[in-house]
Every structure is written in structure tokens, then in C-alpha cells.
Chains A and B, each alone.
Chain A
Amino acid sequence: MSTDAATATLDRPNYLHDGYGWKSWLLTRDHKRIAILYLVSITVMFGLGGIFAMLIRLHLLTPDGELVQAATYNRLFTMHGVIMVFFFLVPSIPATLGNFFVPIMIGAKDLAFPRINLLSWYIYVLGGVLTLWALIHGGVDTGWTFYTPFSTTYSNGYVVSTALGVFVAGFSSILTGLNFIVTVHRMRAPGMTWFRLPLFVWSQYATSLIMVLGTPVIAVTLLMVAAERVLHLGLFDPRLGGDPILFQHLFWFYSHPAVYIMVLPGMGVISELIAAFARKRVFGYRFVAFSSIAIAVLGFLVWGHHLFITGQSVYAATVFSVLSMLVAVPSAIKVFNWTATLYEGSLSTQTPMLYALGFIGLFTIGGLTGVMIATLGIDVHLHDTYFIIAHFHYVMVGGTIMAYMGGLHYWWPKMTGRLYPGSLSKLSALLIFVGFNLTFFPQFILGYLGMPRRYWSYPPEFQVWNVLSTAGASILGIGYLLPACYFLWSMTRGPAADANPWGAKGLEWQTTSPPPTYNFDTPPVVTEGAYAYAAEEHVVGQREVQGA
């Protein structure tokens, strides 16, 4: 990419040049600009949640809880969970990368409902403001799970405001999901058949199904919690005959599928990265595509594994256990297919690929430990310990955030039209990988030793592992700060990127960087399948057109 030619591409009309004032951003209906709005807001939320995480880790350096009061600590981990889950992980990939690239990848000018798309961002901000209001006024101490009757009767935090914040933010993800579903069904470019869709689109589609079907249930559940707290109803209060375990069922009916809302888009990103940096069609395309749908469907049938030790019936537990294992099969299929894609590929080790490979390794560990704790006899010992914490951080941080970072590095040149420093970004990927493992692997050991989660103080024999974990967290923190710095630098000073800096396939790389307002100068017509790197694969695409 010669500098002159590339600078020329930056001066072309593109979506960033389509108006400059604050109105042109805050009233935009361009999915790309809305994606940027989301990117900025979730980054703020990620920073906030990260600060809470750092404080938690610092506090746990000593067993007797010397940094903050117990009440403060409880607020820290609650806000860390609420912010990271509902305001970062759930919208992370769909609302930013998905918003930006789903329309482009299917050759559409925009999402089906641009105004609803903007509305969803405002709703998200409103939800965030409600939650931050609670935070500023003293926080909330229920844990992100809002378990009753603690949340409805005993907690003295700002439960209602937080619950309403999450409730409101839920509608933002419902609207995003709705928009994606309709867009994928109705807005595909001519020739873009279902089996020519990039796997990222498949995974976003599966994610959207969960968003639309699951989110309303937690919305109404949190509404009941808020109503019970304010109006003193008896819906979950055992003293009035209410059943706190019913709350857990309703909560996890959403919140387990929500885990797949968080990780499925990441899997989609990884499929794109592996294909692009192996220059090869993803092995077993249909298996990977359908495994996303399978995860979305099966994901709705496993929530009861969060209730193994509540006293639910052993038969229910058995069913939930076996279903939880079944949902691991499509995840395993993905991991094996990604690995097999590398075989005879043309593999490069650019930064996004490092994240992708890191994802596969960490997600494998996260997934396998997930199957361990789906095993009934073992879960009794591991439930509610740091083993669980380690497991879901391996999936959420080692999985989703690795994928998010990988995707961001992959598509950054497309989104901004600029490049970032290669070696520095590789260093940060390495720091994140090492820091992550150092932070969370000791927590597996702590968990098996029996250290319970959400503990402000702990028996002294657990200290060594906690110190290691905190040390890892500081490396991880630096690993996340580095990209923030060089991305900021890149936005203004980075060298210009050309349309396809990675030599990758996909409609998004056929348009200019950054794309024009309506994504393509001439509407694309699709004639080949996704990832048609090798000549033979054009034929695969052709066959499918005839079949469709």
C-alpha cells in the first residue's frame, strides 16, 4: 500500500465525511455511524467495568479484606458484573461489528430499520444512565444475578434503578436482534443465498434469535423484582408464599442463553478471521453455520444447570445436565472445524489471527471446564466457587473479548480507513493472552480448593493463588490499555489503509475503506460463496446458486 494512493482513498467521499457536526452523528441513521456510537459507549462501559475488576483483584491480594469495606466490595463485584454482562458483553460484537458489517457483508445499503437502530442506541444509553445513576448514588449489592429474596427484601442498594437500567437496555438488544433478523431475511443482495452468507452473518442471525426470544423474559422478570421491591408484592417472597427459586428459573431462562448471545458473535468473528488469515474456505461451512443455530436452540433448554444445588428435583437436574452436554457438541464442532481449516491453508500471523488462535485455545479450555461442571456429581463441589468464575471468564473474556479484539483489529482499517502499528498490536495480543491465563487459571485451582465466589475475605491458605491472579490481572490491564492508545493514535495519525489490506474475501473488502454512506458505489451482485479463495471454490458457490 503506497502512502500516496492510500491517502487518496481517505479523501474519497465516505460515511465519515457525510456531515461533521454533532447532529450528523446523534441523529444519523447510518448503521456504520451507529456502530461507532455503540463502539464509543461500550468502550466507556468496558473501562468502567475494568476498573471495578482491578479494584476487586487488588482487594483480594490479602485474605482479610484490607482495601475496601465488605459493603463496598459487594457493590464492586455487582457493578462489575452488571456493567460487563449487560452493557458490554451483550452488545459488544453485535452492536458494533455486527451493526457495521452485517449489512455490508450481505450487500445491503443499511439495516432494515435504520431509525429503530438509532433508537436502540438511545435506549442503551438510557439504560446505562439509569444504572450509572444507581452507581453514583451508592451502588447496588445484589450481584448481577439479582437473586430473590435478597434483592427484593434485604438489599439496601439501588436495586430498582439498576434493574430498570438492565430492563431498558434489554430492549436495545431486542431491537438490534429484530433488525438483524429482518435484514438477513429481506435485504440480501442478488445472488447472496443463505449458504453464501459469511459465517459471521450466520452467527449474528443465531444470536438475534436468542435476543428476541430470551431478553423479554428477563425484562419482565426484573420488572417483577422492581415491582416487588417498590410495591411490596409477594411474587418471590417466601414469607408470602412466593418462591425465590421461580425467580432463578425465570432469570436463567434468559441469562443462560445470554451467554450464547455473548459468545456466538465471537465465534462468528473467529470464522471470518480464520478464513481470512488461512486464505481458505472454513472447513465444514454448513456444520459451522448450523452449529450456531443448534447452539441458539439448545441454549434455551439448559438453564436448569444453574440450579443443580438449589434443591430442584434430581430428575430435572438430570435432564438439564444431559442437555448441557449436548450443547457442547456444536461448540466442539466449531473448534475442530476451525483447526481443520488451518490444514493446508496459507497461514499468516498478523495481529487478528493471533487473537483468533488465542480464542480457540482459551475457548477450548472454557468449553471443556463447562462440560465438567455440567457433570452433576462434580458440579456439587464446584458450584458457586471460583471454578465457575474461572470457567465463564475463560468463555467470556478468553472467548468473547478475544474475538471482539480480533474483530476490531481485523476490521479497523475498514471502519476508519487507517492502519495501526503491527508489532505493538502483536505485543498487546501476547500480553492479553499471558495476562489472561495468569489471572484466571489460578482461579480454577482456587475453585477446586473450595474458595466461594463473591467473598470479601477468604481463608489465608488461598492467598498465593489470589496474588498470582492479581498479578495476572495487572498484565491483562496493560494489555487492554495498549490497544486503546494505538487505536486513538491510528484514528488521527495512522497510515491510510487500502480497500483490502489483508487480501481477504468478502463483500466488505470489495468496497472502499472507509465505505461510502450507502456501503457500495454500485450495488453488488454475488456470484460465489463466502471465502472463495481457491479457484475450485467459485464452483462450489455456483452449484449452490443452481441448487437454491
Chain B
Amino acid sequence: MPSHAAHVALQHHFDDLDQQKEASTFGMWVFLVTEILFFGGLFTTYVIYRQRFHGVFVEASRHLDVKWGGINTAVLITSSLTMALAIWSAQVNRRKLIVVFLLLTMVLGSVFLGIKVVEYGDKFTHHLVPGVNFQYAGEHPEQAEMFFSLYFCMTGLHALHMVIGVTLLGVLIYPSWKGRYSAAWHNPLECSGLYWHFVDIVWIFLFPLLYLIGRHVS
């Protein structure tokens, strides 16, 4: 209790900063477990239907743009690096570097979202958005529509998480600039980082599942 009791970030109901740190990091991990199951429902649905309508799904997946998807994967992985560097900057007490890396991460996240908008727009112009205007030339348009339904559900949910992530980082910039985070206390950065990496990992699964596998099959 005594050592950190005076720290400005210590909340009233914790004994010390260590307890507070452990609690919030642990809480974040539990939250990520929840998130895994949240996406899990969609992944399960996708995998089941993919197996059931294998040919149609493979055919439909060819309408996704691997180039944009690949670029986005690279962008996201880089953003995870910059996020990690932001936390490192806090650990070595480099106040300005935290802000720089946070901004970089936000920019990369926004680039990802921008590319996603381009991809969505492309689907829209080609009438591949499920709904009344859906048009699909190949076999079994109704099952292809299901593929695109799942595509939009999964990437849309992921994009929503990205938006939340970018907002979260935006909120952290001001306190970082004010020097609130240091080697002794930078838990909000660390938890946001965990979240960011998680969202990144979800994409690492989405990209091959939606864009890549089965593509080579003739």
C-alpha cells in the first residue's frame, strides 16, 4: 500500500499501482476472450457454410481484391509495430515519441479503413453488396450472396473494431502529450495496445479465410 499510494493515477479502491495494473491488464485479457467468442460465432457460421457451398464460396472469393487485402495486411502489421513502439516509448520515458508512434498507428489504422472503403465501394459498383441490388453472374447467386453477406458482416465488424481502436488511441494522445504515462504507469497504453493487437490478429485470420484459401483451385 504505502509505496505508490501518492501516485496520481491510483484509484481509490486499489491498494497500490501494481494491483491496479494487474487488475486492468487482466480485465483486458478477459475482455479479449469475450471478443474472440464474439467473432467466433461469425467464424463458425462462415466455416460451416464454406464447407457446405465450397465451390460457390471459392468462386465468389475471387471477386475480392487480393492486392488491396494484402496491402491492408501489411498496413495492419506495421501498425501493430508502431503500437508496440509507443508502449516502448512510455517504458523508456520518451514522452514525445509516445505521441509520434500513437499518431503513426492512428494514421496506419485510418489507411486500413480508407482501403476498406475503396474495397466496399468497388463491391457496391459491381452490385456485390447483398440486398435488392445484388447481381452475380456465376452459379448459385443466392449462395454467393451468402458469401458476401458473411464477408460484409465479418469485415464490417472488424472495421467497427478498428474505428473504436483509432478513437481509443486518439483519446490517449492528450494525456500522453501531458506526460501522464511513464515507465511507472502507462497501463492505458498497454491495454489499448492489447486491444489493437487483437484487432490486428482478427484480420490475420480474416484475410486468408476470405481472400486466399481455395483461390488457386480451378
Contacts and interface: CB of A to CB of B under 8 A. Distances in A.
Direct contact of A and B (CB under 8 A): yes
Given A187-B23, A240-B143, A232 B34 contact: no
A118 interface: no
B42 A220 contact: yes
B146 A242 contact: yes
Interface string A227-241: 110011111000111
B150 A235 contact: yes
Given A112-B27, A114-B13, A221-B41, A232 B130 contact: yes
Nearest to A249: B44
A178 interface: yes
Contacts of B34: 174, 178, 212-213, 215-216
Contact of A239 (B12, B26, B31, B142): B142
Task: Determine the interface band of chain A, counting residues with CB < 8 A from chain B.
Answer: 35 or more
Interface in A147-187: 174, 178-179, 181-183, 185-187
B118 interface: no
Interface string A329-364: 000000000000000000000000000000000000
Contacts of B44: 250
B206 to A, nearest CB: 14
Interface string A196-220: 0000000000000000111111011
Interface string A110-122: 1111101000000
Contacts of B39: 220
Q: Tell me if A's interface is mostly helix, strand, loop or mixed.
A: helix
A512 B117 CA distance: 59
A243 interface: yes
A231 B146 CA distance: 12
Contacts of B33: 212-213
A213, A227, A241: which has the most chain B beta carbons within 10 Å? A241
A464 interface: no
A114 B34 CA distance: 19
A517 B174 CA distance: 32
A194 to B, nearest CB: 16
Contacts of A220: 38-42, 157
Interface in B12-56: 12-14, 19, 22-24, 26-27, 30-31, 33-35, 37-42, 44-45, 48-49, 52-53
A484 interface: no
B30, B38, B49, B142: which has the most chain A beta carbons within 10 Å? B30
Contacts of A246: 45, 48
B146 A217 contact: no
A113 B27 contact: yes
Nearest to B38: A216
B142 to A, nearest CB: 4
B22, B23, B143: which has the most chain A beta carbons within 10 Å? B23
Interface of A: 108-114, 116, 174, 178-179, 181-183, 185-187, 212-217, 219-221, 223-224, 227-228, 231-235, 239-243, 246, 250, 518
Given A216-B34, A234-B130, 7 more contacts: A109-B13, A112-B13, A113-B23, A185-B23, A187-B14, A228-B149, A250-B41
